[in-house]
Amino acid sequence: MKNRILPMLAVLLVAGAFVARAQNPPLDSTGSTAPAPTTDLPRTGCVTAQCHPGVKDHAFLHGPIRVNGCDGCHKLVDPALHRYELLGGPLEMCQLCHITEMGTAPYAHEPFVEGDCLSCHDPHGGTGSSLLRGRRYADACTKCHEDMTGAHAQVHDPASVGACGACHEPHEAQRPKLLKAEGRELCLGCHILTGIAIEAGPVVHDPALEDCLVCHDPHATDNKAMLTTNAQRLCTQCHEDVATAVNNASRQHEAVTSERSCLNCHSPHASSHPSLLREDVKQLCFECHNQSVTLPDGTHLPNMKQVIEGGTSLHGAITQRSCVECHEIHGGGHRRLLVNEYPSDLYYPFSESAYALCFSCHDRQLVMQPKTETATGFRNGSLNLHYVHVNRDNKGRSCRICHDAHAANRDKHIRDSVPFGPAGWNLPIDYESLPDGGRCGAGCHRSFAYNRVAPETYPEVEDDQSWRGDNLVPGSRIEPTEKPGGSSR
């Protein structure tokens, strides 16, 4: 409560001074100047329209001047010459009323130390209650100090109105540069919401705990948010690993290269998410990928928010809301900002390195063993159908033909269709899940069924050729041989 009462009293005092000035309108000094008197005059005669009219031409008047008390500071020493002297030195005169304890703080303003009150204050009046010389507080400061605002595009609000006293003590202080408070505490006195966010955390940027001036200029700058330089350059001064990734990336993420750069995704002060992210990863990505995106090379990315939220079978990374399991968010060297190699084409010669992205989570034996009972459920008996489709020196089927890397409406995120050819024809993936197996009659081959327990057989084609696709005819359908007892499964 005490902290609130003091500013209120100050406002009332200022208002009182202003009212007093309003009751004493400026003197009309347009008339001729009277000759200097040669005899002593009453103090009420010092300031008239013809004598010293500018002394009272202020919005706020020094107390003695307001009551015509010129003799409170001046004494007549030669009536004939109308010559006056001060009753004492400037500092001595000021301290008759303005008692100060000089030297009680470790940092002091040089004019204050030297007793040169009049270098900053007008003894008669001023535009403010502190009677500073000049129209604004800063006018008194810039007589000695360099103008800190210059021609910059962004100026801190106190500096823009010349309110140096909002941050600096005019006489003495406990801190360097005569600051009123220590480090970030000074800033948080005004930036209250930022302070609340920092206290709430739980993830807080180290500079926000230490000193705002690590990132911000307190006076003026050409960068938004009063940053000392642009966002990306500022962040990478500390985060050198990110700078290396961005600079070496052959494929860049627009979120990083745009004007806001790092601030598109990260909160600069505090967050409830890891790495100071503004939201969880998936929601953050959806802020841009909630619509179709056209890449610099002319290709189009679908509305990923729509794809994912419209799917019932999600890729594991998506269920964890973690796009960064597969994508390099700062930039990289792989197509679609993937963190590792993954075939960009539907048909691709198999190599382990070509599927390095998939193998970072999935067991590579899925496509390495021709025969298996355990590596995959996509098998006809022990015949590994992942191996049959993918592991080929020529025209191996990549994962993307059958599986959507994000989401689909079939188990194992199996697609309904896949864009094929230059026109993007939606090649159907006619897959049906069956007990102990399934059936696929895709647009790329005739219908085949598989069964893990009771393998399907197709005697009209050679066993190896039938599964390797060399003799498959699109659009036709072959029913499996009926098992004893009438079952085809």
pLDDT tens digits, residue range 288-306? 999 999 988 888 899 999 9
Taking 60 as the threshold, does the pLDDT of residue 309 lie above it? yes
Query: In the chain, how many H helices and how many E strands?
Result: 19, 21
Going from the C-alpha of 114 to that of each of 138, 142, 429, 471, the distances in angstroms are: 20, 18, 89, 101
The alpha carbon of 122 is separated from its chain's Cα centroid by a whole number of angstroms, namely: 45
Full DSSP string of 424-480: TEEEE--EEEETTEEEE--TTS-BEEEESSS----TTS-HHHHHHTTT--TT-B-PP
Per-residue pLDDT reduced to its tens digit, 68-90 = 889 889 999 998 898 999 999 88
Taking 90 as the threshold, does the pLDDT of residue 327 lie above it? yes
pLDDT given for residue 376 in this prediction: 96
Nearest CA among 66, 69, 121 for reference residue 95:
121
* pLDDT (mean) for 255-266: 94
CA torsion angle for 135, 139, 141, 142 (degrees, to 10)?
Answer: 180
**Calpha distance 238→233 (Å, rounded):** 9
Per-residue pLDDT reduced to its tens digit, 332-348 = 999 999 999 999 999 99
Q: Which residues of 146-170 are buried (b: 16+ CB within 10 A; e: fewer)?
A: eebbeebebbbebbeebebbbbbbb
pLDDT given for residue 282 in this prediction: 95
Q: Which residues of 235-245 are buried (b: 16+ CB within 10 A; e: fewer)?
A: bbeebeebbeb
Per-residue pLDDT reduced to its tens digit, 153-183 = 999 999 999 999 999 999 999 999 999 999 8
* pLDDT (mean) for 143-148: 91
pLDDT given for residue 488 in this prediction: 32
pLDDT given for residue 53 in this prediction: 85
Q: Predicted confidence band at 49 (pLDDT cuts at 50, 70, 90)?
A: confident
**Calpha distance 312→79 (Å, rounded):** 103
Full DSSP string of 277-315: BSS-HHHHHHTTSSS-EE-TTS-EE--HHHHHHT-SEE-
**Bridge partners of residue 221, in order along the sequence:** 154
**Calpha distance 385→368 (Å, rounded):** 11
Give percent of the chain with pLDDT exceeding 70.
87
Residue with tokens 């400037």: 90
pLDDT given for residue 37 in this prediction: 80
Secondary structure of residue 57 in the 3-state scheme: coil
pLDDT given for residue 118 in this prediction: 94
Q: Predicted confidence band at 484 (pLDDT cuts at 50, 70, 90)?
A: very low
pLDDT given for residue 394 in this prediction: 86
**Calpha distance 62→371 (Å, rounded):** 100
Q: Which residues contact 206 (CB under 8 A, 6 or more apart)?
A: none
Per-residue pLDDT reduced to its tens digit, 423-482 = 889 999 999 999 999 999 888 888 899 999 999 988 766 544 544 444 444 433 344 444
How confident is the prediction for the chain on average, in pLDDT? 86
Taking 50 as the threshold, does the pLDDT of residue 10 lie above it? no
Per-residue pLDDT reduced to its tens digit, 178-221 = 999 998 999 999 999 999 999 998 999 999 999 999 999 999 99
Taking 80 as the threshold, does the pLDDT of residue 317 lie above it? yes
* pLDDT (mean) for 105-111: 94
Tally of CA atoms within 13 A in the half-sphere of 194 that contains its CB: 17
In the chain, where the domains are located? 2-27+38-148+167-175, 183-280+321-337
Full DSSP string of 116-181: -GGGTB-SSEESSTT-BSSSSHHHHHTTTSPPSSTT-SEE-HHHHTT-GGGTB-SSEESSGGGBSS
Check: CB of residue 268 under 8 Å from CB of residue 274: no
Identity of the amino acid at 155: V
Taking 70 as the threshold, does the pLDDT of residue 313 lie above it? yes
Phi, psi at 428, each rounded to 5°: -70, 140
Q: Predicted confidence band at 100 (pLDDT cuts at 50, 70, 90)?
A: confident
